[in-house]
């Protein structure tokens, strides 16, 4: 039973206040068939919307089955709309993309959390459309569409049906059919309230209410009400909790909506796709670069100090002048003898050398070292052997060549035993160094190693070394040894106290490695954060599209709310859509990143691998972006007022 008293509804139109309903008091019994008539603008629709819980009165009381509804929350109203009321609109308000049976089934999404094709089909049969279930609504005539809308209003077995000019857009044949259906529903015990322009229809009702200027003008009963009806008190619980199972249907719906807007969905996906691809690629790239740097560093040997001579200023007769300190082989012997922590010292004499073999010519770096080089620089020859101390002492003309030199002079042939010329002196190739990597000028394999004595006295004609590799026995002793080396050398060369800091330079490989590692880490962090920004931009793109989608589908949102969708239902629907876009974009992005890294890895020769962490991270990050950036549009949609949304053009 419906009881309204003193209902007023006014609209503000700028400075004017339009009073659509001025003071309406009515009682409608269960099982009645009531027609409301009146000229256009007399407030019929306004009254129907209030009765149908689509709108709230400015003042007055409305009791539905004994429950005062003006005190209910928006969600509680949605549940009542869903479970107790069916609303039939003049404009049908079907969703055009859905087949008829899904339109009929739509309210079930909010009550039972799933579509039920069988139930929808049986209702379509009841309204004479049994064969049209699979037709989209734009493939149906007006009369057929209205019958689908009636079937929709029936799917949750409502107690009352409100119909606002249901035949207003229909021809007279369809009008008769619709009226027939409504009458038979009334015969089944459903209360019907119908607004109409047609006197003929008004005459068919049990009771006819005429309105004018927002008040009831007349109210006449034509057919007495059957009295045996029990007053059905509402005992429905208005629980509005969210069921997780709905999410699956929302995702399904979200997917379908996106599939229907392929170009737009594709474009909004593109942002996320590029963002995720960039992040994953950058992470892989950073990791690859780091690995390759680490490999090069470890190939240099650890626990290593590299000693170079510096300059000192000495006072001469007329002026001060800079003099370069020279490190001799005797210095090396003294260091090794005096500092127990030193495991090995390797002198290093180097310079450019022109290498020839038959008609082949190559300019490379020639390095004079001792046999300790093998251990200190991890350089056991991969072919042949290294030279011995004896060969060094007798200044033998033997050479161990790098991979690049070998390739230039001998191609893929073994160079062992061949005789090459270095700066016009004949050398026998006795071994090949292991590959160390590096490109262009930093190619570690573009070098030739010869005995240091040979290099000093036969190739370059000097009696001092350029630098010394000092291998320390333990990592912990590196700093200490560094100081000892300075001390020994300073005293041997009688360096004045004031200049002791500059006389010798010592590079600590451990420090160097740390510095390089931390800078490569910083670099990859930097690249990843730039990539993350593009992900953010992708997220904003999604928000943009979702906002457009919400605006474009305002009427749809209104309809969904009118048939019982709660705030949370609408929120989840739009959220699901943006999550679907982002997650698909994210997955495609991971695929793209895989392609790009594979290509880059083969071009650059880096060991680039996409880590599972990076994939997992970007997958969840893209879902997260979908939620974060979808939330605002979804919330905006969920907060639309049903009747305002339905009126939106």
User: Are 520 and 512 spatial neighbours (Cβ–Cβ below 8 Å)?
Assistant: no
Which of residues 45 and 146 has its CB atom nearest to Mg ion in the complex?
Answer: 45
Query: Measured from the CB atom, is 45 or 303 closer to Mg ion?
Result: 45
Within 10 angstroms of residue 627's Cβ, the number of other Cβ atoms is 16
Question: Comparing C-alpha atoms, which of 32, 63, 453 is closest to residue 229?
Answer: 32
State CA 617 to chain mean position distance: 9
Name which of residues 3 to 62 contact Mg ion (CB under 5 A): 45
Binder of residue 620, out of ligand ADP, Mg ion, none (CB less than 5 to 8 A by kind): none
- For strand 504-508 and strand 447-451, is the pairing parallel, antiparallel, or unpaired? unpaired
Provide, rounded to whole angstroms, the least separation between the CB of residue 152 and ligand ADP: 22
- Vertex 269, ends 264 and 272: CA angle to 5°? 150
- Minimum Å distance from CB 72 to Mg ion? 25
By a kind-dependent CB cut-off of 5 to 8 A, residue 40 interacts, out of ligand ADP, Mg ion, none, with ligand ADP
13 contacts ligand ADP (rule: CB under 6 A)? yes
The token pair that represents 328 in the structure block: 């001799």
Q: Which does 633 bind (CB under 5 to 8 A by kind): ligand ADP, Mg ion, none?
A: none
Return d(Cα 6, Cα 429) in angstroms, integer: 111
Distance in angstroms (rounded) separating the CA atoms of residues 85 and 78:
10
Of 18, 187, 248, 530, which one interacts with ligand ADP (CB under 6 A)? 18
Rounded distance, CA 649 to CA 643, Å?
12
Least Å from the CB of residue 12 to ligand ADP: 8
- Which of Mg ion, ligand ADP, none interacts with 11 (beta carbon under 5 to 8 A by kind)? ligand ADP
Binding pattern for the stretch 367-386 against ligand ADP, x by CB under 6 A and - elsewhere: --------------------
Residue 11 or residue 620: which is nearer to Mg ion going by CB? 11
Partner that binds at residue 43, options ligand ADP, Mg ion, none, CB closer than 5 to 8 Å by kind: ligand ADP
Strand partners, 21: 9
Largest CA distance in the chain: 137
Cα gap 167→145, rounded to integer Å: 11
Q: Do residues 533 and 207 lie in contact, with contact meaning Cβ atoms separated by under 8 Å? A: no
Q: Measured from the CB atom, is 45 or 481 closer to Mg ion?
A: 45
| Closest distance to ligand ADP from the beta carbon of 96 (Å) | 24
Q: Is 281 a binder of Mg ion (CB under 5 A)?
A: no
**DSSP secondary structure of 457-496:** IIIS--SSBSEEEEEESSGGGHHHHHHHHHHHHHHHTT--
Report the nearest approach of Mg ion to the CB of residue 18 (Å).
14
Nearer to Mg ion by Cβ, of 91 and 296: the residue is 91
Q: How far is the CB of 43 from Mg ion (least distance, A)?
A: 9
The entry of Mg ion, ligand ADP, none that residue 41 binds, CB within 5 to 8 Å by partner kind:
ligand ADP
Give the shortest CB-41-to-ligand ADP separation in angstroms.
4
Q: Would you call 5 helix, strand, or coil by DSSP?
A: strand
How long a stretch of residues is the chain? 649
How many other CB atoms are there within 10 angstroms of residue 446's CB atom? Answer: 21
Least Å distance, CB 45 to Mg ion, is 3
11 binds ligand ADP (CB under 6 A): yes
Residues 6+ apart with CB under 8 A from 515: none
Residue 571 or 643 having the CB closest to Mg ion = 643
Shortest distance in whole angstroms from residue 213 CB to ligand ADP: 9
Question: How would you class 341 by CB atoms within 10 Å of its CB: exposed for 0-12, middle for 13-18, buried for 19 or more?
Answer: middle
d(CA 442, CA 532) in angstroms, rounded, equals: 32
Rounded to an integer, what distance in angstroms lies between the CA atom of residue 370 and that of residue 453? Answer: 8
Query: What, of Mg ion, ligand ADP, none, does residue 18 touch, CB below 5 to 8 Å by kind?
Result: ligand ADP
Number of residues forming the site for ligand ADP (CB under 6 A): 12
Binding site partner of 46, from Mg ion, ligand ADP, none, Cβ cut-off 5-8 A by kind: ligand ADP
Per the CB < 8 A criterion, the answer to whether 278 and 531 are in contact is: yes
By CB under 6 A, the residues from 31 to 90 that bind ligand ADP are: 38, 40-46
| Among 1, 20, 104, 194, interactor with ligand ADP by CB under 6 A | 20
Minimum distance from residue 90 beta carbon to ligand ADP (Å)? 9
Token pair of 413, please?
């042939």
Least distance (Å) between residue 217 CB and ligand ADP = 12
When the beta carbons of 93 and 268 are compared against ligand ADP, the nearer one is 93
Minimum CB distance to Mg ion smaller for 209 or for 590: 209
Q: From residue 575 to residue 594, what is the string marking binding to ligand ADP with x (rule CB under 6 A)?
A: --------------------
CA dihedral 75, 76, 79, 81 (to 10 degrees): -100
Q: Which residues bind ligand ADP (CB under 6 A)?
A: 11, 13, 18, 20, 38, 40-46
Q: Which residues bind Mg ion (CB under 5 A)?
A: 45
């Amino acid at each position: 039973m419906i009881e309204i008293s003193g209902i007023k509804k006014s609209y503000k139109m700028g400075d004017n206040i339009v009073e659509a309903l001025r003071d309406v008091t009515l009682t409608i019994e269960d099982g009645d068939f009531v027609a409301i008539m009146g000229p256009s603008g007399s407030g019929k629709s306004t009254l129907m919307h209030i009765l149908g819980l689509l709108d709230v009165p400015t003042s007055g009381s409305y009791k539905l089955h004994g429950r005062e509804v003006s005190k209910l929350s928006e969600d509680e109203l949605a549940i009542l709309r869903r479970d107790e009321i069916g609303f039939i609109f003049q404009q049908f308000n079907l969703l055009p993309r859905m087949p008829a049976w899904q339109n009929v089934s739509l309210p079930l999404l909010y009550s039972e959390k799933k579509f039920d094709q069988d139930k929808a089909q049986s209702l379509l049969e009841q309204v004479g459309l049994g064969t049209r279930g699979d037709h989209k609504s734009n493939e149906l005539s007006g009369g057929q569409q209205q019958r689908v809308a009636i079937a929709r209003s029936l799917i949750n077995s409502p107690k009352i049906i409100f119909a606002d000019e249901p035949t207003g857009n229909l021809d007279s044949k369809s009008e008769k059919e619709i009226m027939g259906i409504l009458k038979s529903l009334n015969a089944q015990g459903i209360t019907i309230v119908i607004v109409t322009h047609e006197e003929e229809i008004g005459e068919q009702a049990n009771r006819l209410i005429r309105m004018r200027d927002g008040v009831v003008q007349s109210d006449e009963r034509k057919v007495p009400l059957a009295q045996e009806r029990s007053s059905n008190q509402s005992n429905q619980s208005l629980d509005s909790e969210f069921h997780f199972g709905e999410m699956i249907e929302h995702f399904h719906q979200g997917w379908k909506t996106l599939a229907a807007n392929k170009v737009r969905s594709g474009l909004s996906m593109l942002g996320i796709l590029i963002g995720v691809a960039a992040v994953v690629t950058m992470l892989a790239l950073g990791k690859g670069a780091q690995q390759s740097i680490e490999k090069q560093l470890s190939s240099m040997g650890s626990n290593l100090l590299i000693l170079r001579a510096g300059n000192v200023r000495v006072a001469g007769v007329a002026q001060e002048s800079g003099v370069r300190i020279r490190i001799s082989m005797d210095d090396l012997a003294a260091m090794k003898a005096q500092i127990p922590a030193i495991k090995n010292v390797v002198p290093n004499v180097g310079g450019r050398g022109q290498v020839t073999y038959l008609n082949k010519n190559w300019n490379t770096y020639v390095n004079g070292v001792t046999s300790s080089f093998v251990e200190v620089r991890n350089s056991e020859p991969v072919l042949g052997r290294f030279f011995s101390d004896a060969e060094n002492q007798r200044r033998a003309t033997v050479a161990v060549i790098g991979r690049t030199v070998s390739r230039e002079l001998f191609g893929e042939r073994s160079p062992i035993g061949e005789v090459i010329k270095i700066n016009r002196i004949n050398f026998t190739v006795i071994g090949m160094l292991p590959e160390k990597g590096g490109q262009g000028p930093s190619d570690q394999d573009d070098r030739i190693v010869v005995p240091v004595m040979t290099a000093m006295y036969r190739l370059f004609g000097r009696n001092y070394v350029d630098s010394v590799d000092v291998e320390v026995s333990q990592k912990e002793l590196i700093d200490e040894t560094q100081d000892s080396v300075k001390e020994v050398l300073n005293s041997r060369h009688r360096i004045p106290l004031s200049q002791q800091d500059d006389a010798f330079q010592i590079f600590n490989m451990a420090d160097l490695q740390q510095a390089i590692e931390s800078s490569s880490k910083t670099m990859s962090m930097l690249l990843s954060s730039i990539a993350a920004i593009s992900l953010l931009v992708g997220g904003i793109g999604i928000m943009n599209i979702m906002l457009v989608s919400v605006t474009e589908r305002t009427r749809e949102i209104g309809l969904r709310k009118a048939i019982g969708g709660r705030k949370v239902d609408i929120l989840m629907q739009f959220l699901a859509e943006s999550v679907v876009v982002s997650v698909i974009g994210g997955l495609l992005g991971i695929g793209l990143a895989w392609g790009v890294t594979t290509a880059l890895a083969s071009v650059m020769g880096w060991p680039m691998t996409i880590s599972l962490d990076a994939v997992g991270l970007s997958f969840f990050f893209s879902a997260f972006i979908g939620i974060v950036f979808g939330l605002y549009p979804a919330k905006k949609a969920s907060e639309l007022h049903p009747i305002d949304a339905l009126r939106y053009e």
